[in-house]
Amino acid sequence: MTQHHADGAPPAARAAVIGAGLIGLALRAWLLFWPGLMSVTQYDDGPYFGSAVRLVHGVLPYRDYAFVQPPGITELMSPAALESYLGGTAWALVIGRFLTVFAGAAAVVLAGFLVRHRGALAVWVTCGILAIYPPSAVSARTVLLEPWLVLFCLAGAVAVFDRDRITASTRRLAWGGVAFGFGGAIKVWAIVPVIVLAALCLPQLKRAATFACGVAAGFLIPVLPFVITAPGRFVNDVVVAQLARISTRTAAWMRFNSMLGTPKSLTSGAVIALAITVLVFAVAAQLAAAWATRRPPAPLDWFAFTSAVLIVVMLLWPPYYADHYAAFLGPFLALSLGLPAARLVHGLIARAPAHLPIPASSPVTAEGPLAAEPAPPAARRASPSLARSGLVLLGLAVLTGAAGQVHPPIRWTSRFDIPSVDLRLIAEGSCVLTDSPSYLLIGNRFSSDVPGCSQMVDSLGTDLALGGGRRPGSGAGRVPAVTAAWRQAFGAAGWVLLTLKNPVRIPWNPLLRGYFQRHFDLVRHRDTYKLYGREAIGPLDPIPGHGRRPYSE
């Protein structure tokens, strides 16, 4: 007889959860170590981790500088940011990167917990897809929002669902809501699965209210302290600047290419064909599973599939799109494929002639279409071999997928403890302005003790927040508040580090460019950045009509 543990999962399913989790961890760790622990691989990790460094040094987002995301990531990274007091911001960022790697791997395990009652097949398909899904793996190699958002959404789902159905436990519903709520405090996209779950709870108003109260608590408790300090700027930065963002629209086929995790070399026609194929397969699997089991999809299936569809629509809607956004789709896409596949196989086993043996690893139980029957010894002996074979095949898929998807980093390093940015010629505590704070974090020159030095952590976010959603390419340089913020930042800086992408982050206009050219000289020229400096900093000469610190209370 197939053995089951107290959680209802057969041993093969539990082994699959552990195996897939280890593979997911190995892939994400490899992606972190491959370019070097202290390499510049992203823009967004600079603002996200930089905000945590600012917080532990007593500088608050929204009140003291523009920050266009909720404060959840700032709070999560604050313990790691404390390392900036001891070993510098470079090692603090490394700790944050390791934590994100573990968060990405933990999400694979949580997805396995969510489907383990369906058996090893559901676990291998769901966890296997999520473990090697390129957007999920690549986004977890540094401090980005999506791995943490996925982690808390899956934690909430594990708490809310009792096998295929929503739990009757008030405590689990409340704590599941808290997890989803904190996911929203990381990125407001958590509202999508929250709405789906709330709809599934609605037949019982008390259950829906319990879940909603948990969501509210999980969101408001970490957010309210920052709202209280600067309510107007919080709404402007997090809500208005994001909704009003003006940007060139990314083509739909390019978004599908990102969401599918397919190579960038594919043509638009091939990408659209693949997207249609995946959609047809997902729908067909649901219909076939319903036919084979003679039962409609369970609430867990509806949660996964509906969330996946809504997330795809959400990612297609706004003009702006970034590749790592697709990481949020990863778990719901994996669940939408793994759950019906397992149901279909279980249903076909149940419909098979009675004289055919049922494999010992099959999770068909008394709760399913057919009670499990004793399997022959050969089937029991074959189960471990099949599990090991699955591990080997999934490992090969990991290597193949990673080789085809991961792009070379900006900078390679031969040793993991050597920063890819050398800023030792700048005295510690100097005021350094940059369009990419990741360089200053890795170079240990992010924090300054110069009075009046700008606290800016997100150059592009500052443009969006002060410019009503405008970027440099869409008119941010014509907004007086944006010009004033940058003028103050240049006026206090003794050094300026500009990357190759500075024109799309700094709203260069004649006033700013003229001031920069008069006061700064090129000191160092590297492949990916230029460093400018000046010998002395004169008094700030504010722009007429603006104060000395445009972004202060």
pLDDT of residue 241: 87
CB 331 within 8 A of CB 111: yes
Verify that 69 and 182 share a domain, yes or no: yes
Q: Is residue 420 part of a domain?
A: no
Q: Is residue 552 part of a domain?
A: no
pLDDT of residue 47: 95
Verify that 390 and 503 share a domain, yes or no: no
Verify that 389 and 446 share a domain, yes or no: no
Amino acid at 63: R
Beta bridge partners of 497: 434, 531
Question: Which H or E run contains 165?
Answer: strand 165-166
Distance CA(157)–CA(176), nearest Å, equals 6
Residue 300: partners with Cβ closer than 8 Å, 6 or more residues away: 114, 115, 161, 163, 164, 165, 335, 339
Residue 275 DSSP SS3: helix
Question: Residue 432's pLDDT band (boundaries 50, 70, 90)?
Answer: very high
pLDDT, tens digit (0-9, with 9 covering 90-100), for 151-184: 999 999 999 999 989 999 999 999 999 999 999 9
Per-residue burial over 89-102, b if 16 or more Cβ lie within 10 Å, else e, is bbbbbbbbbebbbb
pLDDT of residue 364: 47
**Six-digit token string for 543:** 């722009």
Full residue range of the structural domain in which residue 193 is found: 11-351+364-405
Q: Which of 206, 373, 159, 196 is nearest to 297 (CA)?
A: 196
% of residues, the chain, pLDDT over 70 = 82
Q: Is residue 422 part of a domain?
A: no
pLDDT of residue 553: 30
pLDDT, tens digit (0-9, with 9 covering 90-100), for 3-31: 455 455 677 888 888 888 999 999 999 99
User: Residues 23, 28, 33, 38: what is their CA dihedral angle, to the nearest 10 degrees?
Assistant: -160
pLDDT of residue 142: 93
Q: Is residue 111 predicted with pLDDT exceeding 90?
A: yes
Looking from the CA of 191 toward its CB, the CA atoms found within 13 Å total 5
Q: Is residue 423 part of a domain?
A: no
Q: Is residue 2 part of a domain?
A: no
Write the DSSP assignment of 438-479 as a string of letters.
HHHHHTT---B-STT------HHHHHHHHTTT--GGGTGGG-
Domain total in the chain: 2
Verify that 190 and 96 share a domain, yes or no: yes
CB 15 within 8 A of CB 388: no
Q: Is residue 457 part of a domain?
A: yes
Verify that 30 and 119 share a domain, yes or no: yes
Q: Is residue 358 part of a domain?
A: no
Write the DSSP assignment of 76-120 as a string of letters.
HHHHHHGGGGTT-HHHHHHHHHHHHHHHHHHHHHHHHHHHGGG-H
Residue 151: partners with Cβ closer than 8 Å, 6 or more residues away: 103, 104, 106, 107, 110
Verify that 464 and 527 share a domain, yes or no: yes
Distance CA(361)–CA(378), nearest Å, equals 12
Write the DSSP assignment of 337-376 as a string of letters.
HHHHHHHHHHHHHHHS-TTSPPPTT----TTSSS---PPP
CB 186 within 8 A of CB 100: no
Question: Residue 39's pLDDT band (boundaries 50, 70, 90)?
Answer: confident
pLDDT, tens digit (0-9, with 9 covering 90-100), for 269-292: 999 999 999 889 888 888 888 888
Verify that 312 and 450 share a domain, yes or no: no
Verify that 448 and 319 share a domain, yes or no: no
Verify that 377 and 476 share a domain, yes or no: no
The more confident residue out of 396 and 253 is 253
Q: Is residue 166 part of a domain?
A: yes
Q: What is the separation of C-alpha 249 from the centre of its chain, rounded to a whole number of angstroms?
A: 21
CB 296 within 8 A of CB 352: no
pLDDT of residue 254: 92
pLDDT of residue 14: 83
Verify that 369 and 460 share a domain, yes or no: no
Distance CA(361)–CA(10), nearest Å, equals 7
pLDDT of residue 265: 85
Kindly tell me the sign of the dihedral angle through the C-alpha atoms of 368, 369, 374, 377: negative
Neighbours of 447 (CB within 10 A): 23
Output the pTM of the full model. 0.85
Verify that 100 and 178 share a domain, yes or no: yes
Distance CA(131)–CA(147), nearest Å, equals 12
pLDDT, tens digit (0-9, with 9 covering 90-100), for 53-92: 999 999 999 999 999 999 999 999 999 999 999 888 999 9
pLDDT, tens digit (0-9, with 9 covering 90-100), for 474-509: 888 999 999 999 999 999 999 999 999 999 999 999
In terms of DSSP bridges, do strands 432-434 and 495-499 run parallel, antiparallel, or are they unpaired?
parallel
Verify that 390 and 447 share a domain, yes or no: no
pLDDT of residue 294: 84
Kindly tell me the sign of the dihedral angle through the C-alpha atoms of 114, 118, 119, 123: negative
